[in-house]
Structure 1
Amino acid sequence: MADFVPKTKEDEENELQRYKDLVSSFPKEEGWGFEKYICQYQGFWYVDKHCQAVLAVQDHFKARSSDIILATNPKSGATWIKALVFATVNRSNYSIDNHPLLSQNSHFLVPFLEISPYQNQIPDLEILPSPRLFATHISYNSLPQSMIDSSCRIVYLCRNPKDVFVSMWHFMNKMRERLSKPPLDVMKVFERFCNGVTHFGPFWDHVLGYWKASLERPQHVLFIKYEDFKADPGFHLKRLAQFMGYPFSYEEEKEGLVDEILRLCSFENMSSLEVNKTGEAPMGAFKNEAFFRKGKVGDWENYLTSVMIERLDQITEEKFHGYGLKL
């Protein structure tokens, strides 16, 4: 990609048009939600406007060593991990009773680089104070080089593919319902998920990229399983805080601050807030309530057939064989 920083509005418009033209030439497949097509870039699938933003991120995002990047596959717990990270890093700035998370969705507080800041513009993020908190669905191999060179901290939250698929299917159908589109045929999109043709997928390649990075650069990439975090949230929140450089003190733990943050960011609390019941999502096309369905581990048991379960388990075993990763 070109190392060009737009100097004028016209320069920026020309640069954005260049991305749009590039993306129009990429391989395409039928889309899942509001989009007609998704396109393939560097081995992964994107909505056109997200792919254009990925190109802009790669060209223009300049990471700082103090940055914290939250990476996930879609429908892997991003809403939750964003809230936990924001509350942990900013715990000295806000009281629990008067917290931004009570009035703003976590996706506003920790934006996806390729969905908010860089969509249809090239923003000046240098004006933001440190530590900057950003999220992304971009695969590890497609991250801007500055993220690797800066030694910023990357947190990757991974979830079982069976729950990811079920959650994505429900999420896309909710989006399509609001746009007066018919629901997705579950078997049709299941086949496409298995073949990797899904937003920011293939799922397994996405996970494996961050898993290998966490083994090679453990001081800079933390790999967390959603299921482990749900099983022992206190332990993993403290581990997360330590990794980010914001460890809880003995006094804070004794005063119950860890538990207070977990309660603030819990599914039960966040889903009950007015902002998450009626507020508009920053990505458009749906409301914040779309981010809160169940948040449970193992909900796939209520939807997948034995054949579907066997298929996903087989793919997972084949993809991760030899890498020491179990989901």
Structure 2
Amino acid sequence: MAENSQPPNNDNQQEIEELISSLPKEKWWRGSGLTLYQNFWVPSDFIRGVITLRRHFIGRDSNILLASKPKTGTTWLKALAFSVLHRAQFRPSVANANHPLCSSNPHDLVPFLEIMLNGQPAGHVPDMSGFTDLQLFATHVPYHFLPESIHQSQSRVIYICRNPLDTALSSWHFWAQANLEGGAGDWSMEEFFENFCKGLDFYGPFWDHLLSYWKASCERPERVLFLKYEDLKEDTARNLKRIAEFMGVPFSKEEELDGVVDQIVEMCSLSNLKELDVNKTGDIFGYENKTFFRKGEVGDWANYLSPSMVERLENIMKEKFSPFGLYFTLKKTS
């Protein structure tokens, strides 16, 4: 049995439990909470998985990790990356009813590591040493939370980010809907916005999370691909080819001439995904599948955020991002 598949000893489990009990905590929505771990607010429900991932997960050269802050295009990136990686096995076409996207939510096809590990005893990591093909995983943790084995291996990380105005809006819609379904009452945009600006949200602060991957992509561009949601929306085909090349499975000239790139773009579009029966019913992580597919627009913030909110976020962006050469062009929906 591989070393990382051994059950954890009781001392290790006890140490992790004692650490968790000592960490600062804040109340959140639906009776859940946030736990402050290494200066980031981690969902309390997943804190064991986050600690196990950081301490014990064995990164391998075959790993491809899709990283993101929640509500920044995660579901879309999962669908795109899965379809690219498995295009030889599953013909990418809206007419192919046998494609896994027609029967499984993208979050089922590309599991979150911290959620997968959260269901294990503290410190226990399933043995995945027998996998030799490319392995596609996802995570919401900041870059420096990734285990040293991932940093030292040849594994690749694709990070997708979104401008903070649309991220805040999309997050509020998602959590407000979850609150409504959970019977926890209304959660005003103003209340959520205040927490967002203070960094009190899932895997926040937003700024530090994004910068952790931006800096890594500048230092190691061959290992960390930094994508902006806005760029992916503007030219999905071009950026899809960037994703495929970075993953080590570039499109051939024949595939491009055959329209494979365009077929994946169409199949993974929000308009197509949200109309699939699998994404209209059922749930995952305790949320209805349909809540993962809203508008996906760039600039929708202009319809919801007040001028004072916009000014506040713009000032934070300038303070946090501009010293590192990172900028967002803020567009408005018509």
Q: TM-score, normalising length from structure 1?
A: 0.93
- The residue type paired with residue 7 of structure 1 is Q
Q: Which of 220, 242, 250 lines up with 2:245 in the alignment?
A: 242
Q: Which of 234, 247, 255 lines up with 1:231 in the alignment?
A: 234
- Which secondary structure does the structure 2 equivalent of 1:252 belong to? helix
Correspondence for 2:25: 28
- Which secondary structure does the structure 2 equivalent of 1:62 belong to? coil
Unaligned runs of 5+ in 2: 329-334
Distance 1:213 1:246 in 2: 22
Q: Does 1:172 align with 2:181?
A: no
Report the CA distance shift for 1:12/1:301 in structure 2 as closer, same or farther (over 3 A): farther
- The residue type paired with residue 28 of structure 1 is K
1:5 CA drift (Å): 5.1
Correspondence for 2:51: 55
Q: Does 1:7 align with 2:10?
A: no
Correspondence for 1:43: 39
Report the CA distance shift for 1:128/1:179 in structure 2 as closer, same or farther (over 3 A): farther
Unaligned runs of 5+ in 1: none
- Which secondary structure does the structure 1 equivalent of 2:225 belong to? strand
Correspondence for 2:332: none
8 Å contact from structure 2 (residues 166, 301) kept in 1: yes
8 Å contact from structure 2 (residues 30, 183) kept in 1: no
Distance 2:279 2:135 in 1: 24
Q: Does 1:195 align with 2:191?
A: no
Correspondence for 2:69: 73
Report the CA distance shift for 1:193/1:269 in structure 2 as closer, same or farther (over 3 A): same
Q: Does 1:110 align with 2:107?
A: no
Report the CA distance shift for 1:47/1:239 in structure 2 as closer, same or farther (over 3 A): same
Distance 2:9 2:238 in 1: 45
Report the CA distance shift for 1:198/1:127 in structure 2 as closer, same or farther (over 3 A): same
Q: What CA deviation, in whole Å up to 9, does each residue of 1:123-178 have, x standing for no partner?
A: 33334442110000100111111110002110000101011111111111111112
- The residue type paired with residue 182 of structure 2 is L
CA RMSD after TM alignment: 1.7
Correspondence for 1:314: 315
8 Å contact from structure 1 (residues 6, 15) kept in 2: no
Report the CA distance shift for 1:16/1:167 in structure 2 as closer, same or farther (over 3 A): farther
Correspondence for 1:278: 281
8 Å contact from structure 1 (residues 139, 200) kept in 2: yes
Report the CA distance shift for 1:80/1:207 in structure 2 as closer, same or farther (over 3 A): same
Q: What CA deviation, in whole Å up to 9, does each residue of 1:30-60 have, x standing for no partner?
A: 21x3344211111100111212111111122
Q: Does 1:101 align with 2:101?
A: yes
Q: Does 1:132 align with 2:135?
A: yes
Distance 1:108 1:44 in 2: 26
1:189 CA drift (Å): 1.8
Distance 2:149 2:174 in 1: 32
Q: TM-score, normalising length from structure 2?
A: 0.91
Distance 1:57 1:103 in 2: 29
Distance 1:221 1:260 in 2: 26
Q: What CA deviation, in whole Å up to 9, does each residue of 1:298-324 have, x standing for no partner?
A: 111111000000001110110012211
- The residue type paired with residue 24 of structure 2 is P
Q: Does 1:19 align with 2:22?
A: no
**Percent of pairs with identical residues:** 45
Does 51-60 or 260-269 show the bigger shift? 51-60
Q: Which of 162, 167, 179 lines up with 2:165 in the alignment?
A: 162
Report the CA distance shift for 1:145/1:302 in structure 2 as closer, same or farther (over 3 A): same
Distance 1:311 1:29 in 2: 24
Q: What CA deviation, in whole Å up to 9, does each residue of 1:203-222 have, x standing for no partner?
A: 01001110000000010000
Q: Which of 142, 146, 169 lines up with 2:145 in the alignment?
A: 142
- Which secondary structure does the structure 1 equivalent of 2:324 belong to? coil
1:279 CA drift (Å): 2.0
Distance 1:279 1:221 in 2: 33
Distance 1:34 1:115 in 2: 19
Distance 1:21 1:255 in 2: 57
